[in-house]
Structure 1
Amino acid sequence: MHARSVAATTIALLGFALFAPVPRVSAAGAPAHPLVVAHRGASAYAPENTLPAIDRAAALGIPWVENDVQRTRDGELVVVHDAGLRRTTDAERVFPGRAPWRVKDLTAAEIARLDAGSWFGPAYAGTRVPTLRQYLRRVEHNHQKLLLEIKNPELYPGIERQTLQLLGDEGWLDRSHRAGRLIVQSFSAGSVRTVHALRPGVRTAFLGRPAAKDLTAYAGFADLINPSHSGLTDAYVTGVHARRGPHGDPMRVFTWTVDDAPGARTVAGLGVDGIITDRPDVVCRALDSA
């Protein structure tokens, strides 16, 4: 399928309200497809967590993008996945004496010097690690929606409050964004609780798979439970849907990271509400043909 056709199909698939009641159905009465979320942007096609990656997702017609937020030594929020910069930048070459090249040990100005694209391919040479402010502005420019992960919060005391402050400064905490354009998630239950306590109106998600017996407790502060697709069952998804989150809606399930058509059809069959993927076009085609 041509990319433009994929984009049009995808926009149609993702037109359903994010927090519609379970079971999700289209206007015609057919089951609604899961939302498709571009993992670190369309990261199979452009360097992860960069502006080109979210632009590529936009070109494919993917409204939802996911990213990772960490903090520099001098307090700037930046978008990068690993605690260290060695895998996705040339930090080792630029700063040979600064091992292990952790985000928390370099200043924002130092990180801004790094090439975050050449590792992926020569076409992306010179791509930079974006600040969260730059990233938010590009997502807004693209009319996209954001699944924002607070990464390694134990390394960055107070990062929840700082992230929320920046989101507010950039207009991302108004009613329209909170209602359907923003979810904040973390692998740390404590971090998710903190976000919910600071800004109860923000939709939140826990990354992981709590025991079924603990889901009621998680429903007090998380609107979604976002587990790995590995070993996911329809019984678990049903158990999540049976609880109502802090905003009174049934809890949702976004699963990760599914990059192939059979996997996408399998997890859709389990009733998940969202699929996080490096290859959103592949997943969209699979859902459209199911």
Structure 2
Amino acid sequence: MSIRLTAAASTTGALLGMSALFLTAAPTAAAADQPAQAGAGSPHRSPVPVAHRGASGYAPENTLAAVDKADRLGIDWVENDVQRTKDGELIVIHDTTLSRTTDVEQRFPDRAPWKVSDFTAKEIRTLDAGSWFDAEYKGAKVPTQKEYLDRVSRNGQRLLLELKAPELYPGIERQTLKELRREGWLDRRHTRNKLIIQSFNADTVKKVHDYKPQVKTGFLGNPKVEELASYAKFSDQINPRHAAVTKDYVDAIHAVKGPRHRPLEVFTWTVDDASTAKRVADAGVDGIISNKPDIIRDATAK
């Protein structure tokens, strides 16, 4: 199988955003230092709720306010999207343009189409990334990846990091790992149970695995069952959109062992209602990514 071609075919929903791990939502202090283990469809585990772009149903997505909201809701795992500015700074934002979630069109009206990669970190720092969501969040900023890591660490949370559109940012895999190392996120404790890196781009997932095999990885998409063994060489998770989730598909994924010689895991996205959460939980998924993760947690609690 050509991973590059398959990744491209699986990326039709890439801009819908996304992205996962294992353990209960609120581990005890003793459990925090234990290796995380996925439910692998176990009827005795509830799926892990993951706050999509932070608790983005309640606060502006990918901001520190959304991280803090997830923390106040008792959500252990948060997901974010990482891209790179014109001058090489890693920042946290979902779209490859700035217009939807900031006031960039008012601040820089002559800079259309307002691509992230066309602006420096200093310029992006001047933007309001909160008012579009609610006036309460006026003045919220697009955080750097370092700021995001600091806040997640301060809250004692865990991170599902998505490399967004990595084909636009050559070398972002190594750069991200370098920053994670500098911020203390590549020690054994973090790589065992506090960090996952995922992407819609299979080549990027493979690069992350090759560069740092200790880091848990996830592929965003729904490969054919006969292709799962190829993905299992470098990915610990297969993370499909919820519409693709069936019990047969989840069982097929769990039947394949990944690079750590453990069953592949399934984290599905983006689920915001109780009925869908129950359906995918009954199918055996290990995690559910949600803008309203408290609703998902409560709907699937056992």
TM-score (ref. length: structure 2)? 0.88
* Structure 2 CA distance for aligned equivalents of residues 253 and 205 of structure 1: 9
Q: Deviation of residue 36 (structure 1)?
A: 0.5
Amino acid at match of 1:59: R
Amino acid at match of 2:174: R
Q: Deviation of residue 248 (structure 1)?
A: 1.2
Amino acid at match of 1:220: K
Q: Within 5 Å, give how 1:114-129 maps onto structure 2.
A: 114-129=127-142
Q: Deviation of residue 22 (structure 1)?
A: 3.6
Q: Deviations over 1:63-112 (max 9, x none)?
A: 00000000000000000000000000000000011001110000000000
Q: Within 5 Å, give how 1:143-162 maps onto structure 2.
A: 143-162=156-175
Judge conservation of contact 2:274–2:295 (CA < 8 Å) in 1. yes
Q: Deviation of residue 23 (structure 1)?
A: 4.9
TM-score (ref. length: structure 1)? 0.92
Segments of structure 1 that go 5 or more residues without pairing to the other structure are 1-8, 25-29
1:99 aligned partner: 112
1:18 aligned partner: 36
Equivalent position to 1:51, from 55, 60, 64: 64
Equivalent position to 2:288, from 264, 275, 281: 275
* Structure 2 CA distance for aligned equivalents of residues 264 and 12 of structure 1: 21
* Structure 1 CA distance for aligned equivalents of residues 53 and 39 of structure 2: 28
Q: Does residue 179 of structure 1 match 2:192?
A: yes
* Structure 2 CA distance for aligned equivalents of residues 38 and 22 of structure 1: 20
1:4 aligned partner: none
1:89 aligned partner: 102
Equivalent position to 2:50, from 37, 41, 49: 37
The count of residues paired between Structure 1 and Structure 2 equals: 275
Bigger relative CO (Cα 8 Å, ≥ 6 apart): 2
Provide the aligned C-alpha RMSD in A: 1.6
Judge conservation of contact 2:48–2:288 (CA < 8 Å) in 1. yes
* Structure 2 CA distance for aligned equivalents of residues 63 and 128 of structure 1: 23
* Structure 2 CA distance for aligned equivalents of residues 152 and 211 of structure 1: 22
Q: Deviation of residue 231 (structure 1)?
A: 3.1
Judge conservation of contact 1:21–1:250 (CA < 8 Å) in 2. no
Equivalent position to 1:236, from 246, 249, 261: 249
* Structure 1 CA distance for aligned equivalents of residues 292 and 168 of structure 2: 30
* Structure 2 CA distance for aligned equivalents of residues 10 and 245 of structure 1: 23
Q: Secondary structure at the match of 1:111?
A: helix
Judge conservation of contact 1:71–1:77 (CA < 8 Å) in 2. yes
Segments of structure 2 that go 5 or more residues without pairing to the other structure are 1-23
Q: Secondary structure at the match of 2:177?
A: helix
* Structure 1 CA distance for aligned equivalents of residues 25 and 159 of structure 2: 16
* Structure 2 CA distance for aligned equivalents of residues 285 and 124 of structure 1: 27
Q: Deviations over 1:141-170 (max 9, x none)?
A: 000000000000010000000000000000
Q: Secondary structure at the match of 2:123?
A: helix
Q: Deviation of residue 123 (structure 1)?
A: 0.4
Q: Deviations over 1:24-59 (max 9, x none)?
A: 3xxxxx611010000000000000000000000000
Equivalent position to 2:270, from 250, 257, 266: 257
Judge conservation of contact 2:222–2:244 (CA < 8 Å) in 1. no
Judge conservation of contact 2:78–2:160 (CA < 8 Å) in 1. yes
* Structure 1 CA distance for aligned equivalents of residues 208 and 117 of structure 2: 21
* Structure 1 CA distance for aligned equivalents of residues 245 and 257 of structure 2: 20
Q: Deviation of residue 249 (structure 1)?
A: 1.1
- Runs of 4+ residues over 3 Å off in structure 1: 15-18, 20-24
Q: Does residue 164 of structure 1 match 2:177?
A: yes
Q: Within 5 Å, give how 1:47-86 maps onto structure 2.
A: 47-86=60-99
Equivalent position to 2:227, from 183, 189, 214: 214
Q: Secondary structure at the match of 1:184?
A: strand
Q: Does residue 284 of structure 1 match 2:297?
A: yes
Q: Secondary structure at the match of 2:244?
A: coil
Q: Secondary structure at the match of 1:178?
A: helix
